[in-house]
Amino acid sequence: MAVYIRAVKTEETETTVTYRYGSTYEANEDTLTLPKLPPEEYQALSKEQLPLNFLSGRIFIKIMKYYSANGTFPDAVSYQA
């Protein structure tokens, strides 16, 4: 069974960044809003502050890898397994 997840940045403010994500190229099944924090501070967030499910958890990892390496949030990312 293959898994494909894509996220596209829809909004970025001073305090948050919002992505729409899903299991199709259109990435329109749900949204994920992340607070803008230094990468190392995401580990301290609780499940209530950063609620992730299977799809959003997988794409969150890809977003954080890009953010940690480049210092900016990516416009679009995808995950395949």
Element (H, E) at 67: helix 54-70
- Residue 9: band (very low, low, confident or very high) from pLDDT cuts 50, 70, 90: very high
With beta carbons less than 8 A apart as the criterion, state whether 6 and 76 touch: yes
For the cut 70, the answer to whether the pLDDT of residue 11 exceeds it is yes
Element (H, E) at 69: helix 54-70
pLDDT on residue 1: 59
For the cut 90, the answer to whether the pLDDT of residue 13 exceeds it is yes
Length in residues, the chain: 81
pLDDT digit string, tens, across residues 27-58: 899 999 999 999 889 988 888 888 899 889 99
> What stretches of the chain adopt beta strand conformation (E)?
4-12, 16-22, 30-35, 76-80
